[in-house]
Amino acid sequence: MSAAVGELAGRTALVTGAGQGIGAAVTRALVDRGARVVAVDREADGIKRLADDVPDGRVLARELDVTVASAVDALVDDVERTVGPLDILVNVAGVLRPAPVVELTDADWAETFAVNTTGVFHTSRAAARRMGERRAGCIVTVGSNAAGVPRSSMAAYAASKAAATMFTKCLGLELARSQVRCNVVSPGSTDTAMQRQLWGEDAESSARRVIEGDPSAYRVGIPLGRIAEPADIAEAVVFLVSDRARHITMHDLYVDGGATLRA
């Protein structure tokens, strides 16, 4: 890791969903590599704590609802004007509304797609317009391994992540000649508030069931025998936005301990 310290020095990043979990971990990892990060979330508390914890003003906290296109465009304009050209965008903002399809409400379906898919479209479009003109930049969307494997009671989430994944790949194809790279990181079960939302009161038992698998839900376990930490996902993101990945675009990197048994 020591060889990677400072590799993002001088670069400006925007991270959505930065108030907790994977978004906060991505923000810290980018800062550790020298980047300056605009951390956005629609809840102010988490990003304010994050900005206070990181010295030297390396994290700038900004409230943003990614579902509102005009707000996204205004924020990106402001960042470019007051902070600097945007070099990196990491789409992490996401919501989970678990329910069987026959019980899934219209509101939960719409909210899931508004954040997980349309939000990615809004931020990526705003960033791509500027990155394409400059012929430089990286976009990473944090998806999910659920985008490639059916999950009970997660149809809206899985479908929204699958759509965001394919959108990011299509964007990567369109921007490739401009030397702007677009990739996806797809976590499996990760120890976040969203993951724990799926667990019962006995967290230890729930975690063990995730690791060992659940035949009743047609779900395999995690071959590596552990649930990911947010930092595991952040390290994959940092790699893909770094020059070490300069010839990688339209890639979907699964970080799930082998849970999907991908070929």
The whole-number average pLDDT for the span 194-223 is 82
User: What is the residue-averaged pLDDT of the chain?
Assistant: 94
The tokens for 46 are 């988490």
- pLDDT tops 90 at residue 201: no
Helix (H) or strand (E) holding 79: helix 69-82
User: Tokens 């944090």 map to which residue?
Assistant: 142
pLDDT in the model for residue 202: 72
Q: Are 108 and 156 in contact (CB under 8 A)?
A: yes
pLDDT digit string, tens, across residues 30-80: 999 999 999 999 999 999 999 999 989 999 999 999 999 999 999 999 999
pLDDT in the model for residue 1: 41
The whole-number average pLDDT for the span 4-8 is 84
pLDDT in the model for residue 203: 73
**Residue of 121, 157, 167, 254 marked active site:** 157
pLDDT in the model for residue 173: 98
pLDDT digit string, tens, across residues 162-182: 999 999 999 999 999 999 999
The tokens for 126 are 């705003």
Q: Is 218 an annotated catalytic residue?
A: no
Q: How many CB atoms lie within 10 A of CB 178?
A: 15
- pLDDT tops 50 at residue 3: no
| Cα(137)–Cα(89) distance, integer angstroms | 8
pLDDT in the model for residue 214: 87
Least confident of 120-124, 133-137, 211-215: 211-215
Scored b (16 or more CB within 10 A) or e, 81-103 reads eebeebbbbbbbbbbbbbeeeee
